[in-house]
Chain A
Amino acid sequence: DVKVTQSSRYLVKRTGEKVFLECVQDMDHENMFWYRQDPGLGLRLIYFSYDVKMKEKGDIPEGYSVSREKKERFSLILESASTNQTSMYLCASSLLGFYSPLHFGNGTRLTVT
């Protein structure tokens, strides 16, 4: 069974801090994604990557960056955290293929104070 692991379940950070959210998958998936999930707004794509060192902007990339140095690991970076980045962050991975479903991690609940 595919396992997507997000390093933290809950995080509390202060405004202006640099924040790293880590995600690891164990199924050799090419694609990896970062979404944020907010009530009433659904899931919005921040960044995704289809290969090591490759990244593509999603729909809301402002204030975020990503890093994919190894195939199994995809990191989301908040360069200078702000209160409007308080959210649930979901990592997902999938095989390369139009019909391949996404496999999600448990999510990281980030609170920026």
Chain B
Amino acid sequence: AQRVTQPEKLLSVFKGAPVELKCNYSYSGSPELFWYVQYSRQRLQLLLRHISRESIKGFTADLNKGETSFHLKKPFAQEEDSAMYYCALKTRITQGGSEKLVFGKGTKLTVNP
């Protein structure tokens, strides 16, 4: 079964410190992974996706197939990074020709001044 694990419910760092939000997945196929972010009183939105290999708002994430991980990293955290972060795994539904997204339980990041 497909599963996404975010081991930390809460993560607190000081402004300027490095931050790493952990994500591990379980999937027998070829994974496509995403990070979504939800700022206070805003809708859930895409932060970055594995296929794009981009850096958004200073965040990067590397897929490690050997460790089945997709950790989110930022070298210098900012107060505006405080938010709820969700890792998500996209899986194929062969019969229907569609896909679904399985989410982890989320990590609440607080960046203190």
Could you count the A-B residue pairs with CB atoms below 8 Å apart for me: how many are there? 62
Chain B interface mostly: strand
For chain A, residues 94 to 110, give those with C-beta under 8 angstroms from any C-beta of chain B: 96-99, 101-107
Number of interface residues of B (CB under 8 A): 26
Is B98 a contact of A48 with CB atoms below 8 Å? yes
Report yes or no: A41 in contact with B105, Cβ–Cβ below 8 A: yes
How many residues of chain A get a CB closer than 8 Å to chain B's CBs?
Answer: 29
Residues of A within 8 A of B (CB): 30-31, 33, 35, 40-45, 48, 50, 54, 56, 58-59, 90, 92, 96-99, 101-107
Instruction: Show 19 A/B contacts (Cβ-Cβ < 8 Å), sorted by A.
Output: A30-B98, A33-B100, A42-B86, A43-B44, A43-B86, A43-B106, A45-B101, A48-B98, A50-B96, A50-B97, A56-B100, A90-B44, A92-B44, A98-B32, A98-B92, A99-B32, A104-B43, A105-B43, A107-B43
